Structure 1
Amino acid sequence: MKPSKTQLIAIIAVLVVIFFYFDLQDYLTLAKLQSQQEAILSYRAAHPFMTVVAYGFIYIAVTGLSLPGAAILTLAGGALFGLLWGTVIVSFASSIGATLAFLAARFLFRDSVERQFADRLKTVNDGIAKDGGYYLFTLRLVPLFPFFIINLVMGLTTMKTATFYWISQIGMLAGTLVYVNAGTQLASIKSLSDITSPLLIGSFVLLGIFPLIAKKYVEHRAHDKNQHNP
């Protein structure tokens, strides 16, 4: 039976309240992860399958509910599973969680937003229909906006769910690799700012905007060609 909007809002609200009431965010800090690394690795050695299941569920829940802690969980993925499997597990868990947040925003808020801002949203949706995939890919690579905001805002547009999912998975892969790789050397990290450098962020920016620039260039050349060849 499909839950109503009121029921879904109530469920989300209860989960968020539980998260903060019991101070679960304190477990998703770099210091806590480093202090518990040996215990976590021991549990993984004794229960490898359950570790993957529990880790994946926690990651999906945190990203799906737009809670803080995804960066720390990504580091934990590297520490627990290594670069290859950590990247695979985090990539799918983060994309599934992001898509759940996207769908929740669409189900809960899109109709009311469309009613209030129909004209403005039409312009946005026209742009999304034309270049939405390129813009989403750029936003996923360029660290200007928190990912949870991107998930929620995109849910208010007409972007197809499948498109959102696969572009998010590809677009977040580079950042996932960086953080998972850092997680394989967890003990040496002093702060999250140690993981990314201005050069690395600049590389992400260039990588993110290149497809959009290339598309605009091709469209411009095609337009010029049509004008010169009526």
Structure 2
Amino acid sequence: MEQSAPEAARRFSIRRLWPLAILALGFGLFFALGLHRYVTLDTLRDNRQALTQWVEANRLWAIVVYMGLYALMVAFSLPGALVATLTGGFLFGAVLGGAATVVAATAGATVLFIAAKSALGDLLRAKAGSAVARMEEGFRANAFSYLLFLRLVPAFPFWLVNLAPAFLGVRLSTFVGATFIGIVPGTFVFASLGAGLGAVFERGEEPNLGLIFEPRVILPILALALLSLVPALYRRFRKP
């Protein structure tokens, strides 16, 4: 049984903030230790031979390590997910690399969602006004469609789409399902691009990271995004 807004506000404890505090600490350490300087395509280019040899010798372990690091990157909202996705495609191929990335990204996003929801979700809803409460009710009624749209359109920050549903009372199952399905198209586009990086590096060229915005790629994804809104629009405009 869910708590009422006033009751949730009264029972809020600072101890509930520890999951977010850990994530914030990890985010700060990432930059303080200078790790962000290594999450680049130059790092991948310079170490591609050693990485490829290690993956060939330890394929299963390499996939586990890659997925774990990717999930941590998403959970801590660290920059570099694009480079990591390209790396997955480069090391494991478009299909396996894309699949591993989708699972890892969904897992990391879920960790952040749960941390935010358990720490601040009840408190923010308790402090919100009636207008926000009505918006929350409307969002939850069509949460899967809205989330799927936000995941499909490559214009919304991934970390923001992880946090906002946590503060709007979205169910965990809805969040996980919409995230998993919604990130598939874009992830496989970049994993496929990553799978061809070897030849690009050998030629001394730079990969075309704007590929996803080319009409032949972005238009089908946008069409899927618009289709994802059809159920929500139907429920909104259907006759009572």
- TM-score, normalised to structure 1's length? 0.87
Paired with 2:21 and 2:158, the residues of 1 have a C-alpha distance of 23
Which residue in 1 is equivalent to 2:211? 195
Q: Report the CA distance between 1:209 and its aligned residue.
A: 1.2
8 Å Cα contact 1:62-1:97 kept in structure 2: yes
Which of residues 22, 27, 37 in structure 2 aligns to 1:11? 22
Counterpart check, 1:207 vs 2:224: yes
Q: Report the CA distance between 1:44 and its aligned residue.
A: 0.7
Secondary structure of residue in 2 paired with 1:196: helix
Which of residues 95, 98, 119 in structure 1 aligns to 2:106? 95
How has the CA–CA distance of structure 1 residues 151 and 192 changed in structure 2, closer, same or farther, with 3 Å as cutoff?
farther
Counterpart check, 1:24 vs 2:35: yes
Paired with 2:236 and 2:149, the residues of 1 have a C-alpha distance of 18
Paired with 1:179 and 1:203, the residues of 2 have a C-alpha distance of 15
1:70-219 mapped onto 2 (5 Å cutoff): 70-187=81-198, 188=200, 190-191=206-207, 193-199=209-215, 200-213=217-230, 215-217=232-234
Secondary structure of residue in 1 paired with 2:97: helix
Match of 2:230, as an amino acid? I
Secondary structure of residue in 2 paired with 1:66: coil
How has the CA–CA distance of structure 1 residues 210 and 6 changed in structure 2, closer, same or farther, with 3 Å as cutoff?
closer
How has the CA–CA distance of structure 1 residues 192 and 60 changed in structure 2, closer, same or farther, with 3 Å as cutoff?
farther
Paired with 1:174 and 1:166, the residues of 2 have a C-alpha distance of 14
How has the CA–CA distance of structure 1 residues 127 and 113 changed in structure 2, closer, same or farther, with 3 Å as cutoff?
same
> Residues 155-197 of structure 1, C-alpha deviation per residue, up to 9 Å, x if partnerless?
1111110110011100110011101100101142625633323
8 Å Cα contact 1:30-1:191 kept in structure 2: no
Paired with 1:26 and 1:215, the residues of 2 have a C-alpha distance of 42
> Residues 84-136 of structure 1, C-alpha deviation per residue, up to 9 Å, x if partnerless?
21122111001011111111111222123112214233112211222111111
Q: Which runs of 5+ in 2 are unaligned?
A: 1-13
Paired with 1:105 and 1:84, the residues of 2 have a C-alpha distance of 32
CA-atom RMSD, angstroms?
Answer: 2.1
Q: Report the CA distance between 1:207 and its aligned residue.
A: 1.4
How has the CA–CA distance of structure 1 residues 32 and 143 changed in structure 2, closer, same or farther, with 3 Å as cutoff?
same
Which of residues 32, 46, 58 in structure 2 aligns to 1:35? 46
8 Å Cα contact 2:143-2:174 kept in structure 1: no
Runs of 4+ in 1 over 6 A off after TM superposition: none
Counterpart check, 1:67 vs 2:71: no
Q: State how many pairs are aligned.
A: 221
Counterpart check, 1:58 vs 2:69: yes
How has the CA–CA distance of structure 1 residues 4 and 191 changed in structure 2, closer, same or farther, with 3 Å as cutoff?
farther
- TM-score, normalised to structure 2's length? 0.84
